[in-house]
Amino acid sequence: MKKLLFILLACVFVAVSCSDDRITPEDEPETPVGGKDDDDGKEEEEKPAPLLRVEGRYLKDATGKIVNLHGFVQTYSPFFNNNAWNNYNVSGCLSYNKRMIDEILGAGWKMNFVRLHMDPYWSTTPGSQGRYEGHEYFEEARFRKYLDEVFVPMAEYAASKGLFVVMRPPGVCPEKIAVNDDYNEYLNLVWGIVSQHKAIKNNPRIMFELANEPIQIRGTDGVYGASGQACFDQLKLFFQSTVDIIRAHADNIIWVPGLGYQSQYAGFANNPVTGGNIGYAIHVYPGWFNSGQGYENFQRGWDEQVKPAADIAPIMVTEMDWAPEKYNSSWGKSFTGTVGDDGFGANFKYIVDNAGNVSWLLFTDCHKLAEFKNVPGTPGAYTFLNDPEACPWPVYHWFKEYAEGTTKNSKIASLAIQGADNGVEMLTGSDRYLIVKATFEDGTTELVTAKATFSSTAPTVIDVKGNGRVVALKDGTATVTATYQGPLGDSKQATVALTSTTFPFAEGVFNPSIWETGTFDFASRTLITGSYGFGGWKYTNGVNLSGYKYLIAELGNDNQCQAQLRLFDENNYWSPAAEYPFGSSRRVVVELDKMYKSKDGTQVKLNASHIYILGFWSHGGKPIVISRVYLTDTQ
């Protein structure tokens, strides 16, 4: 979506032809990329001591303390600068953007880094037409000129204000890239120039983000894609060439992007980019990583797509925002919400805080950040900047908390696991995430999941994997205990009773509307299907029932709607099923090795080792109270 806007805007930018501003060959620097560096063969100056370094999965300072940065973005082109200057006006650009930094910090934002986009407005041939991403009409001489006149002065100004700088190359990736293609060569050229610049190389406050939003790459199998090891093996080669060029000149920290608009990183765990001082740069928006479907789905998406890289290197979120759509002031459309429930912002913060090694920024326009006032809004009359459900208000206060730290001087009053009061029922083979909350004697609270330790009374049934993630391995029960030691050395425990079952009656698992719209009261376990409807369980990967002799379903009321228990061994509701009418009974017994379905007029044995759909069919409109459904070896 962003690429389309960039392309449209570019047509406006590049249409302004400034012949006086075009660089002639005699203006070009003599030193080619890959040749002698800026010292022209002179003895290398002593490198400044690094302020930050990558050590394992963390970014650390000189004392060994873990550091996570928090910041904002600047893009140097008229449109993204609120049209405060135009016509390649260097002094106007510098004046505006320096003022934005001053006003943002003056507004009280506790920022310590800025993502600096070396916008292609400055390096693209003026008057060019067509696709505008950064490399198609790139002029090396223009880039060198404005690196000196715009990008380096802005980086130095930001650094003078105590900010770290993450430089991003001009433009965004084309939809498809490949090792050694023209875009790979373009990035190598750009970073060869940047990494040799005397004001940038080894500068302890300047870092490099290698590219913006790669989408698909041609994999080792010749197929373009955004996931899978064949693609990541090529992506490693693609960016390794760039890293090698940088490392020939400079030790600056490097942030490597992933595929799928910087959402896919799993393959880096098997084949990471090497060269030292390397982390991974990701983007996170509402809807990405399964966000918008509740906390657990968001966490699960993060664990699948980012965690493999976060387990081996630090992560930096270089684009992220959210707000209700009515404000039209953010890329991401969502609301803050609460941890463990719906909403994007609060769950995002909880996930990255628990990861422990994630730096992140707010993608909101600079002029909006500069206008921020730390004055609460009025319910019913909120604006983008003071609505607690839009990103600026909560992020302003979160950044303040990060900067000031929260050293508690109070004992723990109580510890609780969210939603544990009545126990938790899980689908066998699934996982879920426990959230642990500490309440202190001074009345304050804190989510301490990442600081707690966990144990299970039956780890072969319910296992605990860390950060509150529990996995249901087989049918049975277990009690999981969370233990948290507070800042004063005192500790508390909280427990939750977990049941692992193939047939959980839990929201998001039991579906009353597999066919036609039905309802289900979870407290009383009362199902009312739609007309000739079906409700029950769907198993994405199939469930194996072959280890048991019987499946038994029992009702808690008389059958008034021709109810049947049905099982499907195909992942299609319209495939034939094994059918078991309740008739006048409240109980049906299924012999699992003697299940049959009617297929093309023939009785075909059902395969109990992979059941995809199981549940209750009825004429509809009448209650079916489900007492229990269970597996057993005896009737």
Separation of alpha carbons 225 and 247, rounded Å: 28
Phi–psi pair at 298, nearest 5 degrees:
-60, -50
* 132-164 core/surface letters (b: 16 or more CB in 10 A; e: else): bbbbbbbbbbbbbbbbebbbbbbbebbbeeebb
Q: State how beta strands 278-284 and 254-257 pair.
A: parallel
Amino acid in the structure at residue 52: L
pLDDT for the residue 47: 79
Strand order in the sheet with 511-515: 511-515, 533-543, 611-618, 564-568, 578-581
Tens-digit pLDDT profile for residues 187-197:
999 999 999 99
520 within 8 A of 533, measured Cβ to Cβ: no
pLDDT reading at 42 higher than 60: no
Helix axes 90-106, 152-160, angle to 10 degrees: 20
Greater pLDDT, 182 or 406: 182
d(CA 543, CA 502): 8
Is 70 exceeded by the pLDDT of residue 256?
yes
Which residues 6+ apart lie within 8 Å of 247 measured at CB? Answer: 275, 276
Model confidence over 127-167: pLDDT tens digits? 887 666 678 899 999 999 999 999 999 999 999 999 999 99
| Structure confidence by residue, pLDDT tens digits, 413-457 | 999 999 898 888 888 888 999 999 999 999 999 999 999 999 999
Asked whether the beta carbons of 618 and 562 are under 8 A apart, the reply is yes
Task: Give bridge partners of residue 613 from the DSSP assignment.
Answer: 538, 568
- Across all residues in the chain, what is the average pLDDT? 91
pLDDT band of residue 293 (cuts 50, 70, 90) is: confident
d(CA 63, CA 50): 11
